A and B are shown apart, each in its own frame.
Chain A
């Protein structure tokens, strides 16, 4: 293990902002993925100047630096595969400005997504990308992963809401990218380059974000289906019809069973259900969208369809979806829910086939997989439920993941919709982007010639994710 100069770091951020005890380092070695690796120190900067000084020190001494927000990443993005300094950006947690006149807000990267929306709510506006983990996910982490969530079908992902940012480069220089205006055509859109770069190109120290009005009316509906194919076909038809849902979610039988085990929401255990929502400032317009989606669901054999404007009813319909990720662990007491093959995107017309493929592959490999996600955006999520103690289950999972992503690419889908690549999705990412890997490497070298920013991720990730780091599970030999 390479050592770091603790005294220098203490001088930069103060004694109260550095952790080096093994028990702290061990805790910071995990996120929500299957991976685990130890940083050499956890450092919590409070100012841009401190980030600059840390980067200058790390660049000079060739020490890896991994920026971390809430640690809710599912693919090992913040797991320090080569050790180094874990930069806990939660220390920079100030909402700097809410500018209603020019319709933007400025925040530091450690601001929690839900906290920002709570601050915006009193002005009748919201920041829309909001992933399911919004209670802990930070804006910096969301930028690093180009996060999105249930409303991305209408409002887009993080890249659509970020107008500009300030970034500290590996050499410590501070640059302002993008603008504070809605449009910008002034050369390379470098702030967009940072979005989704998973902390490999620069450290975001401030972001300028746009927001939109909170709609007057929201109506949410649910439709049950006896076949996953019917539900998938309904999604394709809804999106092709020109309907504008503000949410279009799929949950399959595995997901429904898991939710029913943790919450009494009275969900019917059917093959699949669609949750659809429309919003707007005029009720008639919302009614129009809801009726359109209801009709399409009926056409595809959807049943028990109902929709409601009542906030309590809507909350009840949505609660199961919101808590689905943690609830999956309750599907079967002997199976753990692992963040593997956790997201992907496919064209709308392939949604039904994709969902079926996931179950077919899982059955063949004797594991359980679930199909759910923000299907209105083409985004499909799954998780692999398996006995994590069994080595053979990991081998089965590995084969299943390869097959899932082979299919995704074969239908012109993409490896990640919104969770990013990190370590565990790098295999498919590298195949998908094979003709641009050199370009990616050239960009990385131009910005980070010493390769100190989150090394070993994205295109640099090891070939085999199972052996890339320690697994965070106990596996019997």
Chain B
């Protein structure tokens, strides 16, 4: 195959690295997009293959190809796990820059701003990645900088900031998943909202027989950054008789989006609300889990579920 490096000025420097990726696919298990869609072409390895195809000229730069590369929550678990040392998200970002120059924007997971925007500019200041700015008329997002953490969505008072392609991590999707679990499992006690860094996946892509899961007491739902959690989302499971809700996020100085501090504040305010309602505030708990520490994560869940079993349902 002939080498045809052309317009991909930023991606070009990764040519050697793209060859060094041995395409083992061990990154699949870490990717929330793959876990949601089940399509290999949404997994990190496929983004590397896509980047190679674009760079080599074997794959035409199209909206669909761009959508693949713009779809990433930058949890970076794939690159943390990559023994070939491939800096995947840096490659995706450079590919995004080149695609943007060609007028291709995804849509991917880039956050957007709807017409209901009041131009209060809160999101501009809150964006930890300096991806949002005001162009004199509207709030605009730089898709090459946006890491889809969703902080803008959480701070937007008008509900105008949004991510269209949420791959199962959107508020409504999470509420639906939580209610489905709580309604269909008699022993269900808790919903655990975990940022993708905190959450070490159990089953990667397989389903257990019903006989193995009917007595499940909790469900783990990945919400990407803890900073995206809204009180409305955390309260929703209680409408379906949850005994408690746990929030798992990164330790204080380890969150790339500053979302864990935000999550803390939200949980604190919920505690106050619970006290007012005379409900034990310990039914909402926040735990901080270093990336990939599944032992600690499991221990925290077990302790929490035991605690909820002692408390019983909310009366």
- Chain A residues packing against B (C-beta within 8 Å): 19, 21-24, 26-28, 30-32, 36, 42, 44, 70-72, 88, 90-91, 93-98, 107, 110-112, 114-116, 118-119, 133, 135-136, 262-263, 323, 325-330, 333-334, 336-337, 339, 388-389, 470-477
Contacts and interface: CB of A to CB of B under 8 A. Distances in A.
19 contacts: A19-B39, A23-B50, A26-B50, A32-B23, A44-B38, A90-B40, A93-B38, A93-B207, A98-B211, A112-B203, A112-B206, A115-B206, A133-B25, A136-B26, A329-B83, A329-B84, A337-B22, A388-B19, A474-B55
B68 interface: yes
Contacts of B49: 26-27, 30, 472
Interface of B: 1-3, 15-16, 19-26, 28-29, 38-41, 46, 49-50, 52-53, 55-56, 58-60, 62, 64-65, 67-68, 82-85, 202-209, 211-212
Contacts of A336: 16, 19-20, 22
Given A22-B65, A94-B209, 14 more contacts: A22-B60, A23-B53, A27-B68, A32-B25, A44-B39, A70-B25, A90-B38, A91-B38, A119-B203, A135-B204, A329-B22, A472-B49, A472-B52, A474-B19
A370 to B, nearest CB: 13
A94 B22 contact: no
A471 B1 contact: yes
A135 B212 contact: no
A263 to B, nearest CB: 8
A114 B26 CA distance: 12
Contact of A326 (B41, B53, B55, B83): B83
Contacts of A330: 20, 83-85
A327 B84 contact: yes
A28 B41 contact: yes
A323 B22 CA distance: 12
A119 B212 contact: yes
A93 B22 contact: no
A316 B204 CA distance: 23
B257 to A, nearest CB: 27
Nearest to A122: B212
> Which 7 pairs of residues, A with B, have the shortest CB-CB distance?
A326-B83, A27-B46, A115-B206, A23-B65, A27-B41, A329-B84, A323-B83
B206 A474 contact: no
A115 B22 contact: no
A135 B29 contact: yes
Contacts of A21: 64
A114 B202 CA distance: 10
B208 A119 contact: yes
Contacts of B209: 94-98
A417 B113 CA distance: 56
B208 A95 contact: yes
Given A95-B206, A118-B202, A329-B85, A32 B58 contact: no
A412 to B, nearest CB: 31
A23 B53 CA distance: 9
Contacts of B58: 26, 36, 470
A98 B212 CA distance: 9
A120 B45 CA distance: 29
B65 to A, nearest CB: 4
B83 A262 contact: yes
Contact of B28 (A95, A136, A334): A136
B203 A475 contact: no
B59 A26 contact: yes
A71 to B, nearest CB: 6
A112 B205 contact: yes
Contacts of B55: 474
A115 B60 CA distance: 36
Given A95-B209, A112-B206, A326-B83, A27 B40 contact: yes
A88 B82 CA distance: 24
B204 A333 contact: no
B1 A475 contact: yes
A31 B28 CA distance: 13
B42 to A, nearest CB: 9
